[in-house]
Amino acid sequence: MVPVPRALSTPPTVLPGTACGSPQPVLPAAPGLVLRPWQPADAPAFLAAYQDPEIRRWHTRRPHSEADVHAWFDRYHQDWERERGAHWAVARSDGEVLGRIASGSWDFDDGIAGVSYWVLPSARGAGVATLAVTALAAWALEEIGFHRLQLDHSTRNRASCRVATKSGFLLEGTKRGAAVHDDGRHDMHLHARLRETRPGHG
């Protein structure tokens, strides 16, 4: 397939090859807490997570078998190789999975990427999601060079709103009727965090 030439008058914010030129990294989030690529052995924990009522409440796309999970993991690997996004397990240093975090919808031209996450019931209330989002944001903004990270969540999901604001994602507004959940259509809060302007960075 012949690539379509870029027609923009400006250079890309992030140069192609910046991410996939090396293996997907393991990111430290806190002592004893890391973001690491998903492994085949994580499939049972990943599948079990989607039986949790709170995760099901906010996520309508769900795996139904371990075969589905392995297919998702394969796609996650392809996303990295094709520079479409990155997906990590939020895990203890001993390997125990506590949650999921991802950055998707990568737009290297404008330097924009999305963020999404969930945390297992056993890890809630301990700041795990905030630590994970903060670690991902630092990597995406400072190491990869994205200009803007954005995330959205149902206006009814107060826990996710707290995580976003504690992680430096400012609330920008409400997208009316923007997503369908199991109980109907929800308004969505839009949050974003921009790369800080520093000496030598414009």
Please give the full DSSP string across 128-177, using - where no structure is assigned.
HHHHHHHHHHHIIIIII--SEEEEEEETT-HHHHHHHHHTT-EEEEEEEE
Residue 11 counted as domain residue: no
> In the prediction, which pLDDT does 6 show?
66
pLDDT score of 120: 96
Let me know if residue 34 belongs to a domain: yes
Residue 137 included in any domain: yes
Is 2 inside any structural domain? no
In a domain, 44, yes or no: yes
Residue 46 lies in a domain: yes
- In a domain, residue 200? The reply is no
Question: Is 173 part of a structural domain of the chain?
Answer: yes
| CATH code at position 68 | 3.40.630.30
Given a cut of 70, is residue 1 above it in pLDDT? no
Which tens digit of pLDDT belongs to each residue from 19-77? 988 999 999 999 999 999 999 999 999 999 999 999 999 999 999 999 999 999 999 99
Total of domains in the chain: 1
How crowded is residue 35: how many other Cβ atoms within 10 Å of its Cβ?
A: 26
Averaged pLDDT, 79-85? 96
Expressed as residue numbers, the domain containing 158 is: 27-194
| Mean pLDDT, residues 80-99 taken together | 96
